[in-house]
Amino acid sequence: MKSNNLLAWGSAQIFFILSVLVAVVFAILSNNIVKDLNLDASALGLLGGVFFVTYAFSQLVLGILLARVPAKYVLGPTALVAAAGTFVFAASHGLAAAVVARGLMGVGLGSTFVGVIYLVGRRYGTSFAFMSSLSQSLANVSAAGLAITSAFLPILVDFRFPFQLLGLLFVASAVLIFLFVNDSPPARTDGPGLSAALSTSVGNRQFWAAVVFYCGTFGTLLAFADLWNIQFQMNIFEHSVQQSAVMNAMIPLGVTVGGLLAGWWAGKVGVLLPSRVSTLIVVACYSALIVAQLPFVLAGAIMFLIGCGFGSSTLGLAVLHQHLPKSAVPLATSLVVTAACIFGGVIQPLISRAITAPHRAGELVALVRSSNPDFGTYQRGLIWLLASVCLALAAAFLFRPAPDKDP
């Protein structure tokens, strides 16, 4: 039975890891994509936006389907759709084909995270916190490894071959899913259908606490690690591409370590204390970054600690498994993850607006005197991230023990 669980989870986990690598490859090769497809910055933004919108909405729909359709018939076909998207993208020679390709990728990859979380919940219910953290950690360490390697070795040059290779790997993952994932939908003993699952979820206070916690952790992580940290390192602190890549890679590495520790700790004492301590660490780290300009090595250590704190994000999903009936968990998980993706997308332009707005006297009281006039700009951007994590910390204090555990 354990080997069957490992094969099923492993098949879905490979699909999830590949979805993260797609995002990394796209980011690393964005300049090559712009050049080869004769795009401008706005067109590149359109490609990112199309992927984000289709990913968010398909994630919600596919999460609902997981509670009603055998998992392999959701994950397998979407892996093939993702493969089609990468192949079309690799063969594209203009904006129109690239937009279609990115849309296909968004639809196909929308099932990856909710799918692996669903299988973990079905097959590792008693170890959900640890296994969900392990799933996220493996994906993050893969992303960090690729980012660090590409910073020093020219393994990613032309964008077409990497996407062709990813397409083949998506096909292989689909085969594994069809072979080893045999989970049927749970018996609907807790509610008659979608409306009941939705009503049960939104009527539960712990669901809303999980929404705020996951948005403030995972959503903030998306906004920071996927965009603004690299921009800050290069444009404000004038670090090289290699230095910025290493600095940013500290975050997913921290997520890997912190996620495993938070999952293990939650398995011992429940989610309350780990979630509170982890988010408090992130609040302290962002506060330190706002207060003073730190040496490169110390700043890298802070980034690692921020990642460790963000590794606790999956504890918000563990709360759903503890406080909601099984029939409502897939929908609730999809809603929470979709909300976090939207939250991360909203925070990004707010940071952009904060750092590009003209600075007026008295607009921001400088916390330290700095020789770098751009540090105030960095402070204004980071305040949004600090505020987001403070919301997550507040939500962590609203979490309650699982009903079958003593407080």
pLDDT (0 to 100) of residue 367: 39
pLDDT per residue as tens digits for the range 264-285: 898 889 999 999 999 999 999 9
pLDDT > 90 in the chain, percent: 32
Maximal CA-CA distance, the chain:
66
Q: Do residues 305 and 281 touch, judged by C-beta distance below 8 A?
A: yes
Q: How far is CA 213 from CA 278, 331, 347, 397, in A?
A: 11, 17, 15, 10
Q: Is residue 50 within 8 Å of residue 103, measured between CB atoms?
A: yes
Per CATH, the homologous superfamily of domain 188-407 is MFS general substrate transporter like domains (1.20.1250.20)
pTM, entire model: 0.73
Quick: pLDDT tens for 103-124. 999 999 999 988 998 888 887 8
Contacts 24+ apart (CB under 8 A), 17-21: 17/138, 17/139, 17/142, 18/82, 18/112, 18/166, 18/169, 18/170, 18/173, 19/82, 19/109, 19/112, 19/113, 19/139, 20/139, 20/140, 20/142, 20/143, 21/142, 21/143, 21/146, 21/166
CB 235 within 8 A of CB 201: no
The structure tokens listed for 385 are 């991230």
> Quick one: CA torsion of 234, 240, 241, 242, rounded to 10 degrees?
-140
Domain regions of the chain by residue span: 1-185, 188-407
**Tell me, what's the pLDDT at 284?**
95
For 204-282, list the strands marked E by DSSP. Answer: none
| Residue 205: Cβ within 10 Å count | 10
Report the pLDDT value the prediction gives residue 363, as an integer from 0 to 100.
44
**pLDDT 10s digits, 339-370:** 888 787 777 667 767 766 655 434 444 433 44
Architecture in CATH for domain 1-185: Up-down Bundle (1.20)
The pLDDT tens digits for 87-96 are 999 999 888 9
Torsion angle in degrees (nearest 10) through CA of 326, 330, 332, 335: 180
pLDDT higher than threshold 70 for residue 308: yes
Please report how many Cα atoms fall inside a 13 Å half-sphere around the Cα of residue 48, on the Cβ side. Answer: 21
Confidence of residue 306 (pLDDT cuts 50, 70, 90): very high
Q: Point out the least confidently predicted range of 26-30, 82-86, 234-238, 242-246.
A: 234-238
For residues 251-268, average pLDDT:
87
pLDDT, mean of residues 365-393: 72
Please give the DSSP secondary-structure letter assigned to residue 399: -
Residue 372 has pLDDT above 70, yes or no: no
Average pLDDT, the chain: 82
Statement: residue 373 has pLDDT above 50: no
**Domains 1-185 and 188-407 agree in fold:** yes
